[in-house]
Amino acid sequence: MKPGNTAKAAHAKAVREMFSGIALRYDLLNHLLSLNIDKRWRKIVADHMRDILERPDALVLDVACGTGDLTLELRRGAKAVVIGTDFCRPMLAVAQQKEAEMEVPYIEADALCLPFGDGTFDALSIAFGLRNLADVRGGLSELLRVLKPSGRLFILEFSNPVVPGFRQLFNLYFSRILPFIGGIVSGSRGAYEYLPDSVSRFPTQRELAAMMESVGFVNAGFRNLTGGIAALHSGSKK
Ligand SMILES: C[S@@+](CC[C@H](N)C(=O)[O-])C[C@H]1O[C@@H](n2cnc3c(N)ncnc32)[C@H](O)[C@@H]1O
């Protein structure tokens, strides 16, 4: 294995182990630490995808779906087939226990090497997942590969608060208070120190839009959510 690939494999292993360790507390902490704002963000993603979700012929994949909160939000009322995929089995096990009547298929797979043919999906979503990939650009290319021509990608991710003053306040919360509470409730302070750390290394709103275009997406753009704490990016395949 090349040295770069060894580092990527080690990163993927560490991320998978980290999410395995917090899977049972993941939802509780998401809602607690975001004061439930995460639920509103997922609804906004579903609203942006509504026209595709209402098509009975459409196939939609929620990548790095974790415990399935976005997958289920997309599935609710949808006529499209919605599938969830993640490479962490304990996260998927939590997803599978939720709202079983919705019969969402969950598939264990690595987002960097999806087990689907080229041009399979009408739309893809990835929420708080892209940042965790060992290779963000490689992940975007893989997502582009499995999209149909004119298919759309929606990325929900933590981003950069744009309002001065609020930004400093939020950064204090995110880098100091959140790891403290997250550590106590989950028993894994490391996972909640990794969160602000990984966000600080992730591309800004504009950089991510540019990266999407550089791998081949067209019409890449974004909308800031809650003053830029998060951002919803979207782009299309030609
Ligand atoms: C922060 S959670 C987000 C889960 C869910 N999308 C949500 O909105 O709550 C990140 C998820 O990305 C998954 N993940 C990270 N790297 C991955 C990869 N290479 N392939 C598939 N899933 C991955 C993790 O297992 C974890 O479930």
Q: What pLDDT is attached to residue 81?
A: 98
Distance CA 220, CA 144 (A): 12
Residue nearest atom 16 in ligand 1 by C-alpha distance:
133
Q: For residue 51, how many other CB atoms are within 10 A of its CB?
A: 11
What's the pLDDT score for residue 4?
80
For ligand 1, atom 6: residue with the closest CA: 65
Quick check: CB of 70 below 6 Å from ligand 1?
A: yes
Tell me what pLDDT residue 216 has. 98
| Ligand 1 contact via 110 beta carbon (within 6 Å) | yes
What is the CA(32)–ligand 1 centre distance, in A? 19
Point out which residues pair with 121 in neighbouring strands: 147
pLDDT at 1: 64
> How confident is the prediction along the chain (238 residues), in pLDDT tens digits per residue?
677 889 999 999 999 999 999 999 999 999 999 999 999 999 999 999 999 999 999 999 999 999 999 999 999 999 999 999 999 999 999 999 999 889 899 999 999 999 999 999 999 999 999 999 999 999 999 999 999 999 999 999 999 999 989 999 999 999 999 999 999 999 999 999 999 999 999 999 999 999 999 999 999 999 999 999 999 999 999 9
Measured distance CA(198)–CA(196) in Å, rounded? 6
pLDDT of residue 196: 93
CB 144 within 8 Å of CB 215 = yes
> How far is C-alpha 90 from the chain's CA centre?
17
Q: Specify the ligand 1 atom closest to the Cα of 112.
A: 19
Whether 112 is in the pocket of ligand 1, judged by its Cβ within 6 Å, is: yes
Which residue among 45, 91, 124 is best mutated to probe the pocket of ligand 1, counting the most ligand atoms within 8 A of its Cβ? 91
- In 23-146, DSSP assigns E strands to 59-63, 81-86, 106-108, 121-127
Nearest atom, ligand 1, residue 23 CA: 27
127 lines ligand 1 (CB under 6 A): yes
Q: Is the CB of 66 under 6 A from ligand 1?
A: yes
How far is CA 167 from each of CA 18, 172, 233, rounded to the nearest angstrom? 27, 9, 20
Atom of ligand 1 nearest to the CA of 16: 25
Non-local (6+) Cβ contacts of 129 within 8 A are 63, 64, 65, 66, 86, 111
The distance of Cα 163 from the centroid of its chain, to the nearest Å, equals 24
Question: Ligand 1: does its nearest atom lie under 6 Å from the Cβ of 91?
Answer: yes
